[in-house]
Amino acid sequence: MRERLGKFEVVRLLGKGAMGEVYLGRDPRLGREVALKVISAGSAFGEEAQARFEREARAAALLNHPHVVTVFEFGEDEGLHYLAMEYVQGEELEVLIQEGKTPKAELLEVLAQVCEGLAYAHEHGVIHRDIKPANILVTRHGKRPHAKLMDFGVAQMGPSGLTQTGTWMGTVSYMAPEYLDTGKSTASSDIFALGVILYEILTGGRKPFHGDTTTSVLNRILLHPPEPLRPVDMKDVSGRLLAAVERALAKRPVDRYPDAEALGSAIREAMSGAVEVPVVAPAPPAAPKPPKETTGQRILVGKGGQGQCLSLKVALRQAKPGMEIILMPGLYRESVVVDQDVIIRALGKPDEVVLEGVSGPALVLDARSASLHGFTLRAPEGEVALRVTSGASSLEGCVMDGRVAGAEVKAGAAPRFVDCAFRCSGGSGLVVAEGGQTRLQGGVVEGFRDTGILVGSGAQTSLHGVQVGPGDGVGLKVQARAQVVVEDSGFTALSGAVEVEPDGHVQLTRCRLLDSRFAGLLALERSHAVLESCDLGNHTCSGAHVLAGANVMFRQCRMVANAGFGVSVMDRGLATLDGCVIQANGGAGLLIHHGATVQARGCTISEGRSMGVDCDEGGQAVLESCEISGNAGPGVQVEPGGSLLLVRCTLKDGRDTGLLLLEDSQATLEECVAHRNARGGILLAKDAADPVMRGTNRIEDGFQRVDGGGHLVKMAPL
């Protein structure tokens, strides 16, 4: 070991790799410790290592960020090329993940910091190309972990790097599909690698694309979805991280986060949520305080000699901010604009005090913080009853009777509705336009033809204790980028209860989705939904229907007595079920269609008029600690091309077989029990492969196989 390299004193060896060594060094002029990476120009890796050193030095010259290791100098001393860089006393993230001792919340914070550093690098035209846990150092500043991204030795700077055509740079397990396909890396390729690390943090080191050989790993990255996350992987972390994993690991760059900073923000938002959900719950608009009466005066509106005004419009012209306007019983045919903070209160029941529009909406609310109480707004033909254009006003006990919509909330407005009723003979009960925010507490939405509540693109809405239905359309429709939180509400007697359109987000807690003519929940492509302690029952189709690319989590939900499936998950859909009851459905309790992925833990799937679980071609599922019992068809059926893992599951009391495996299907049983099934514990089709048996399984009903003549033949236990 040399005593010096250039101006740096060499203290001791820190580590050794295939291309060289790393020493602890000291800068005598500044008195600071440095890490010295060295490589001999005459070694087998000399030319490649020197090119990496130069690349790392060039990249470092562009970067100065608290979450990126700083390179101070690149030089050569008597044939030894060296890099002098910031010395970080810490542990590699890879070690912390594998040890499993560091709380996941801390590791997620580390990854969020790495996202910040990488975003900075991308802004300066540097693509790392070798993002992996081994290239992330973790130190501690007090109790808080601090991340440092290092090793820019294969980085790309500008539109083209030093890589030769057709040469991959980096580590295979972290390479994005488009990089493997074309050899061209982008900032989105680094984001894919961050998604792999996020997956590893959640799973304790398991890779999302696993294979026994490099070729098999490449194949899975290019052609297959990530291995399904298991319920245990999400223990002690927010379920909203499922959506972050899915988006970061999307096959197409356009479907991933737009930048590393956005991924870091998604991780932090998920970590900070009080409720573990895959959506960002909108903060409900603050309830406005009733305006103070600055004059102590009231204006009485009505006929019969008692009113000071015959018209609400006239009263509004006379009123000053803070005044109270009292509407006496009667029908007021006028369209009015409320543009100052007043209180308008009905003297009587809502159906006794009616404001009926004559041209345009019955009422346009354009005040900062007005307050309306206890009267009916009725729209003329082709209009809405109420239009809210700005402010955070409140309405209590009002009825919105519209023709196009009961009420319409425009961008920038944030009203609160308490115990209000929304009705519409021609369209939607309530429309929240793009950029609008609305909070509903109590009340009903009924009698609509199209949609009960339509939450437009980018809007935010919360519902608490609201009854939606009966109505001819969908109860709640959530459009792209909209965020909706629903608690203790009911959706009954509708064409469909809740529909989430692509890129929409909804969270439902303690809700009842019952008696629709289609499905309780319809989650369309790329949508996200979380349902907790909800009932989805008596629907003509499925309790829940999860389409391609949608991501839905069910916790402690009940899917009971649906004419079709309890839960159906279609191509590329992802459903996670925890502690759910799926009972007495007409079709399969759980249908895992082609290409879908399902994770279920602690669920009961029972008393179905068909099979309990149907895993279709290309479907894959993990069922852990589930009870599948009393179904008319097989408890579990795995069709050709399907793949299923059963861990500590019980298959019992079925009127058919416990587990039916068709040809070209795959099933693994680990510590499972099958007993009291009418046609045996496990039935194999003629050309079906034997299931993989791990641990101690009790198959008390025995194994049977269909022979070439179509007869059942008993087999010895596996």
Catalytic positions: 130
423 touches 446 (CB < 8 A): yes
The one-letter amino acid code at 660 reads L
Q: Where are the beta strands (DSSP E) in 336-480?
A: 336-338, 343-346, 353-356, 363-365, 371-373, 376-378, 384-388, 394-396, 399-402, 405-409, 416-418, 421-424, 428-432, 437-441, 444-446, 451-455, 460-464, 467-468, 474-478
Element (H, E) at 708: none
The one-letter amino acid code at 216 reads S
Q: Which residues, including other chains, have CB under 8 Å from residue 710's CB and lie 6 or more apart? A: none
> CB 339: neighbour CB atoms within 10 A?
16
Rounded to 5 degrees, what are φ and ψ at 264? -60, -40
Distances (CA, A) of 348 to 205, 225, 373, 385: 66, 61, 10, 20
550 touches 576 (CB < 8 A): no
191 touches 131 (CB < 8 A): no
DSSP 318-349: H--TT-EEEEPSEEEE--EEE-S--EEEESS-
Helix 260-272 crosses helix 187-203 at what angle (to 10 degrees)? Answer: 30
Tell me the C-alpha distance between 644 and 639, whole Å: 10
Work out whether strand 666-670 and strand 692-694 pair parallel, antiparallel, or are unpaired: parallel
> CB 303: neighbour CB atoms within 10 A?
12
Tell me the C-alpha distance between 249 and 180, whole Å: 14
Rounded to 5 degrees, what are φ and ψ at 421? -120, 135
> CB 90: neighbour CB atoms within 10 A?
16
Distances (CA, A) of 438 to 229, 335, 339, 408, 513: 34, 23, 19, 10, 21
Rounded to 5 degrees, what are φ and ψ at 318? -85, -25
Furthest C-alpha separation in the chain: 107
401 touches 377 (CB < 8 A): yes
Q: Which of 129, 109, 242, 103 is nearest to 184 (CA)?
A: 129
Q: Which residues, including other chains, have CB under 8 Å from residue 272's CB and lie 6 or more apart? A: none
Q: Give the helix, strand, coil percentages of the chain, each rounded to 5.
A: 15, 35, 45
The CA-to-CA distance between both ends of the chain, in Å, stands at: 60
Tell me the C-alpha distance between 294 and 304, whole Å: 28
Q: Which residues, including other chains, have CB under 8 Å from residue 20's CB and lie 6 or more apart? A: 37, 38, 39, 40, 43, 45, 49
Tell me the C-alpha distance between 487 and 708, whole Å: 56
> CB 78: neighbour CB atoms within 10 A?
7
Tell me the C-alpha distance between 465 and 490, whole Å: 8
